[in-house]
């Protein structure tokens, strides 16, 4: 990796934004086609139990099964179409006992995202995002009536107010540097001592992503940014519960004034590369896991991939 401003490798290699699924969007408005998919003998189903999915193999792959084997209550959604046929997800409530389902192990997206191949990472990310939405949006936001699942699982419909679509909340995340080899990392109050990450926050109503970057850094760390220094590096979905993370690097204009707000952020620190490496190797500092945008922003500044044992859970 390099910190050269022309480098845009994060745009194509973020862990949860790899690959390119054929989402077969035409089937969302083709009721007969969706019915045919559900009886297609080639259809493969990925079971999602809450946020967890079954995987197999030393290099984990999602377990795929036939729809006829899904005999417990579930919400069925269309994820993609691949060379072997349609791929669906059976979204099941975590209270349902699935111990009878054969699987080497179960894992969630945070654990598996960096271990799966491109296609499986994309499938599981999409399934988790839809599961989160269906779990929290079973009723019409206008009148409160119970909705029905439509659009191959990509919409719900209220008899009075029509279709509702999955919601995505844009959020910005930024590696702030001082132009002299140091990066600013912060720790949230609820985190274990020694856990540090880049600064982040949600884009507010009526605000651009770039303005959100500057506002969040100023609010959380009392640091102002050179607006011409912002480098957009890529985005990835973060379905915990429904975010899209937009990643940046930016230059601080007043690094000496860095101070945690004491509300969202309890501690901020400037790290040199040597300091970060020394403290991570000693175990006194931990950085975000490989599945996160924050980890990749830190690695881009650092100049290369960092050891997995430096990750926090």
Measured distance CA(13)–CA(115) in Å, rounded: 13
pLDDT at 6: 62
Instruction: Supply the pLDDT for residue 133.
Output: 96
Residue 267 sits at φ, ψ, to 5 deg, of -155, 135
As beta bridge partners, residue 37 has: none
For the chain, the structural domain boundaries read: 15-164, 168-310
pLDDT of 12 above 90? no
User: Across residues 200-214, what is the average pLDDT?
Assistant: 98
DSSP H helices in 158-307: 209-221, 273-282, 293-302
Query: What's the average model confidence in pLDDT over 275-297?
Result: 97
Token pair 């004491």 is found at: 262
Confidence check: pLDDT of 8 > 80: no
- Determine the Cα angle at 215 with ends 303 and 268, to 5°: 55
- Looking at CATH, the fold of the domain delimited by 15-164 is given as Nucleoside Triphosphate Pyrophosphohydrolase (3.90.79)
| Whether residue 7 has pLDDT greater than 90 | no
- With 60 as the cut, is the pLDDT of residue 210 above it? yes
Comparison of pLDDT for 2 and 146, the residue scoring more: 146
pLDDT given for residue 9 in this prediction: 76
Q: How confident is the model at residue 10 (pLDDT cuts 50, 70, 90)?
A: confident
pLDDT tens digits for range 104-126: 899 999 999 999 999 999 999 99
pLDDT(19) > 90: no
Mean pLDDT, the chain, integer = 94
Contacts for 75 with CB less than 8 Å, ≥ 6 apart: 90, 91, 134, 149, 153
The pTM assigned to this predicted structure is: 0.93
| Strand-pair category, 85-92 with 44-49 | parallel
Residues 147-190: pLDDT tens digits?
999 999 999 999 999 999 999 999 999 999 999 999 999 999 99
pLDDT attached to residue 103:
77
Q: Tell me yes or no: is domain 168-310 CATH 3.90.79.10.
A: yes
Tell me the pLDDT tens digit for each residue of 221-252: 999 999 999 999 999 999 999 999 999 999 99
**Which range has the worst mean pLDDT, 46-50, 98-102, 187-191, 212-216?**
98-102
What local confidence, expressed as pLDDT, does residue 274 receive? 98
**pLDDT single digits (tens) 20-36:** 899 999 999 999 999 99
DSSP state of 2: -
Q: At residue 2, does pLDDT exceed 60? A: no
């Amino acid at each position: 990796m390099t910190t050269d401003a022309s480098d845009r490798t994060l745009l194509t290699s973020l862990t949860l934004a790899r690959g390119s699924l054929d989402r077969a969007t035409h089937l969302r408005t083709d009721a007969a086609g969706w019915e045919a998919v559900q009886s297609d003998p080639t259809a493969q189903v990925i079971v999602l139990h809450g946020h967890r999915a079954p995987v197999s193999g030393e290099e984990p792959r999602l377990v795929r099964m036939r729809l006829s084997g899904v005999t417990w209550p579930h919400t069925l959604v269309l994820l993609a179409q691949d060379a072997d046929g349609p791929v669906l997800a059976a979204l099941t409530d975590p209270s349902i006992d699935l111990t009878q389902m054969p699987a080497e192990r179960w894992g969630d997206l945070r654990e598996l995202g960096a271990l799966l191949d491109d296609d499986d990472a994309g499938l599981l990310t999409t399934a988790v995002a839809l599961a989160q939405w269906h779990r929290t949006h079973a009723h019409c936001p206008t009148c409160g009536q119970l909705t029905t699942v439509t659009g191959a699982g990509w919409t719900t419909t209220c008899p009075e107010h029509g279709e509702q679509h999955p919601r995505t909340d844009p959020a910005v995340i930024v590696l702030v540097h001082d132009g002299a080899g140091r990066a600013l990392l912060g720790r949230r109050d609820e985190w274990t001592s020694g856990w540090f990450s880049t600064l982040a926050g949600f884009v507010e109503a009526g605000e651009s992503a770039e303005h959100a970057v500057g506002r969040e850094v100023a609010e959380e760390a009392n640091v102002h940014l050179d607006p011409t220094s912002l480098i957009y590096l890529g985005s990835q979905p973060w379905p915990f519960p429904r975010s899209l993370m937009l990643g940046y690097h930016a230059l601080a204009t007043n690094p000496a004034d860095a101070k945690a707000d004491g509300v969202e952020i309890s501690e901020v620190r400037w790290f040199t590369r040597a300091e970060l490496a020394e403290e991570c190797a000693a175990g006194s500092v931990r950085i975000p896991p490989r599945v996160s945008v924050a980890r990749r922003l830190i690695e881009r500044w650092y100049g290369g991939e960092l050891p997995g044992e430096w990750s926090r859970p």
